[in-house]
Amino acid sequence: MDLLAAGFVYLVAAVIAVPLAKRLGLGSVLGYLIAGLVIGPVLGVVGGETVDIQHFAEFGVVMMLFLVGLELQPAMLWRMRAQLLGLGGMQVLGTAVLIAAAALVFGVAWQASLALGMILALSSTAIVLQTLGEKGLMPTAGGKGSFSVLLTQDIAVIPMLALMPLLAVNAVAGGHDGHGDSGHGAPAADAHGHGHGAPTLFDTLPDWAQAVAVLLIIGGIIVAGRTVIRPVFRFIAEARLREIFTAAALMLVIGIALLMNYVGLSPALGTFLAGVVLSDSEYRHELESDIEPFKGLLLGLFFITVGAGIDFQLLLSNPVGLVGLALGLMALKAGVLYVLGTGFGLRGADRWLFSLGLAQAGEFAFVLFGFAAGAGILGAEVIKPMTLVVALTMLLTPLLFILYEKVLAPRAVRTEDRAADEIDEAGSIVVAGIGRVGQIITRMLVTNGHKVTVLDHDPETIENLSRIGFRAYYGDATRPDLLHSAGLEDAKLFVAALDDREKQTELVHHVAKTYPEVTIHARAHDRHHVYELERAGAHLAQRETFEGALAMGRDAMTAIGYHPFRAEAASRTFRSHDREALDGLRESWNESGVSKSYIDAMRAHSQTLFELMKADRHDTHDRSERGWTPPPKGDASL
């Protein structure tokens, strides 16, 4: 089958299976696996090219680690250090050791046992985070604990990738020859440079020089991330061409992957590092939004190929053994989690959520299996059944969540919510557009101690702002994905302050539709724009020039001799009258826009205002003159 046709088959399978799986509560990862299972072992429409496609798709993993890195701001990690090292670290270590011990008992070599332990200690970030989010369990103590553990696991992949080759060197004499014979082959993306292709210039260096070169390159990535990448991205951003920015983001990730391959390090490690370095830059959300779709597609493709590679015969030949293995693995993982959860103060429903939710093995297992195969640590005879076992544990996860929800949670009590684990990095206020208007709003909120996330498409402003400590991100605020990664779901308030009138309305419309929970305040150009924005869903629309002009009018009156308090009162009268006019004309505008009736109504209002303003000191009891009027001169009651 040629590549295009194969691609088509994959896409068809994914498009059918993934939405179905999601609807059934199985999550997208399982959807992809099932799609692969159907087109591969079941229907047999795909075959040999699976391996090629898998090599290509593995690049999704590299991208995923870049994104994981982007999410990991050093400051946030530092804040969560106790949870990460304690809860997460002990979960990974404890589970890995126990699984390795079990594998030893089954007669697996110690190196392979250790590798299996590490690989299976990981849980499925994709499945668990998605499920917790869907069920609204993220803010519970159990949900927060789960998040910490998943985060630790994501980070733990990096040392695992570094450790595996060491195990290989010990396990297989002459590991350098490569072991391309397992069904999975050696993943191109995770290639351990020594094993593949022609020796590079790098390989000819003596060992010590190689070590130095590696350190230099890692240092180089960090330094370049801090110094060079920013101006480069800024230069590109100034061109205001969306696709070129995307191209630059891809270029960065692919470039680093190539460089790492060249020196024989894991590309995933390199891009992860680059991600961390860029995680507190103002381009973070833009990079995230650009890479995300590629990662999603490639990773999906990768999972399909895993599904397609599943040995169905094997499952049929020993269903009891494999299901038993899957259940055993989950019991072991849940046991460790239960003990840790108890130690870390989780009780009742939270402890159950924490233990059962993370009991499955994760998608990283597929990646690491491939890597371990490439490095010659695990053979096909282990990987094939274990791939099945991992998939089975994932398949069982939705059932465990149902068990939790229907049986365990209703009977158990919740542990007290701890405020300390503040993981929601997204600001509770999002301001789009940091021009003349957005700037003032943001400054005011920030000086009053609020977290504000700022989005703008002017790279220079954004850079200046982040230099003085604002959380400002580059990007077009009208793009849905950027709004999403800026954390609009959890935002208390969204302030739309774009300069461009049409874009502003569009933005408000989109946010009101997509995030009905969020309160929207919008900057309006003029009174008609106020109505437009209100119709688009803004809860409050303010004319940007109004208050400033009012103040100037007041100052003008003072300058020509009015008492300041009199001028102030006049501006207040003007304001409230104008607001009334705005309210009074709304209906007419909504019905027919700027029609004759609207204009008539407008004229009537300005006439009243004129009369109000012209009333002099002897026309006492109108609105602006009423205040502080002494009783009439002849009043006998005094």
Does 206 interact with another protein (rule: CB under 8 A)?
Answer: no
- Other beta carbons within 10 Å of 236: 19
Please return the burial class of 311, using the count of CB atoms within 10 Å of its CB with bins 0-12, 13-18 and 19+.
middle
- Separation of alpha carbons 575 and 532, rounded Å: 21
Determine the interface stretch with another protein among 42-50, 210-218, 477-485, 564-572 (rule: CB under 8 A).
564-572
Among residues 235, 312, 565, 610, which is the contact residue for another protein, using CB under 8 A? 565
Task: Tokens for 368, please give them.
Answer: 């690491």
493 CB-side CA count, 13 A? 14
Phi, psi at 359, each rounded to 5°? -75, -15
**Which CB atom, from 516 or from 630, has the smaller least distance to ligand FMN?**
630
Nearest distance from C-beta of residue 633 to another protein, angstroms: 6
Nearest distance from C-beta of residue 628 to ligand FMN, angstroms: 5
**Which CB atom, from 458 or from 625, has the smaller least distance to another protein?**
625
Determine the interface stretch with another protein among 176-184, 197-205, 347-355, 565-573 (rule: CB under 8 A).
565-573
**Is residue 399 left, alpha or beta, with left meaning phi > 0 and alpha meaning psi from -120 to 50?**
alpha
Nearest distance from C-beta of residue 618 to another protein, angstroms: 10
- Separation of alpha carbons 160 and 166, rounded Å: 10
* Residue 566 contact, options ligand FMN, another protein, none, Cβ 5-8 Å cut-off depending on partner type: another protein
**Which CB atom, from 608 or from 629, has the smaller least distance to ligand FMN?**
629
**Which CB atom, from 78 or from 628, has the smaller least distance to ligand FMN?**
628
Among residues 410, 449, 516, 630, which is the contact residue for another protein, using CB under 8 A? 630
Task: Tokens for 132, please give them.
Answer: 């917790």
Question: Which residues neighbour 504 within 8 Å (Cβ) at sequence distance 6 or greater?
Answer: 433, 496, 498, 522, 523, 525, 529, 533
Does 568 interact with another protein (rule: CB under 8 A)?
Answer: yes
- Separation of alpha carbons 256 and 266, rounded Å: 10
Does 321 interact with another protein (rule: CB under 8 A)?
Answer: no
Among residues 564, 594, 619, 622, which is the contact residue for another protein, using CB under 8 A? 564
Nearest distance from C-beta of residue 629 to ligand FMN, angstroms: 6
Does 559 interact with another protein (rule: CB under 8 A)?
Answer: no
- Separation of alpha carbons 55 and 187, rounded Å: 5
**Which CB atom, from 500 or from 622, has the smaller least distance to another protein?**
622
The set of long-range contacts for 588-593, using a CB threshold of 8 Å and a minimum separation of 24, is: 589/528, 589/531, 590/531, 590/535
Does 547 interact with another protein (rule: CB under 8 A)?
Answer: no
Q: What's at 611, amino acid-wise?
A: E
Residue nearest to ligand FMN (CB): 630
Nearest CA to 144 out of 353, 435, 296, 378 is that of: 353
Query: Going residue by residue from 618 to 637, which x/- string records binding to ligand FMN, judged by CB under 6 A?
Result: ----------xxx-------
* Residue 347 contact, options another protein, ligand FMN, none, Cβ 5-8 Å cut-off depending on partner type: none
162 CB-side CA count, 13 A? 8
**Which CB atom, from 208 or from 628, has the smaller least distance to ligand FMN?**
628
**Which CB atom, from 517 or from 616, has the smaller least distance to another protein?**
616
Contacts with another protein by CB under 8 A: the residue count is 16
Any idea how long the chain is?
638
Contacts with ligand FMN by CB under 6 A: the residue count is 3
- Separation of alpha carbons 455 and 478, rounded Å: 10
Task: Tokens for 589, please give them.
Answer: 């505008």
**Which CB atom, from 590 or from 629, has the smaller least distance to ligand FMN?**
629
Does 560 interact with another protein (rule: CB under 8 A)?
Answer: no
* Residue 627 contact, options another protein, ligand FMN, none, Cβ 5-8 Å cut-off depending on partner type: another protein
- Separation of alpha carbons 15 and 18, rounded Å: 6
**Which CB atom, from 48 or from 630, has the smaller least distance to ligand FMN?**
630
Nearest distance from C-beta of residue 552 to another protein, angstroms: 15
- Separation of alpha carbons 136 and 130, rounded Å: 10
- CA 203 to chain CA centroid, Å, is 38
* Residue 564 contact, options ligand FMN, another protein, none, Cβ 5-8 Å cut-off depending on partner type: another protein
Among residues 417, 563, 584, 600, which is the contact residue for another protein, using CB under 8 A? 563
- Separation of alpha carbons 468 and 470, rounded Å: 6
Nearest distance from C-beta of residue 435 to another protein, angstroms: 27
**Which CB atom, from 216 or from 556, has the smaller least distance to another protein?**
556
Residue ranges with strand state E in 402-490: 429-432, 452-456, 471-474
Distances (CA, A) of 487 to 288, 302, 453: 12, 28, 9
Summarize as ranges the residues that interact with ligand FMN (CB under 6 A): 628-630
Summarize as ranges the residues that interact with another protein (CB under 8 A): 562-568, 617, 627-631, 633, 635, 638
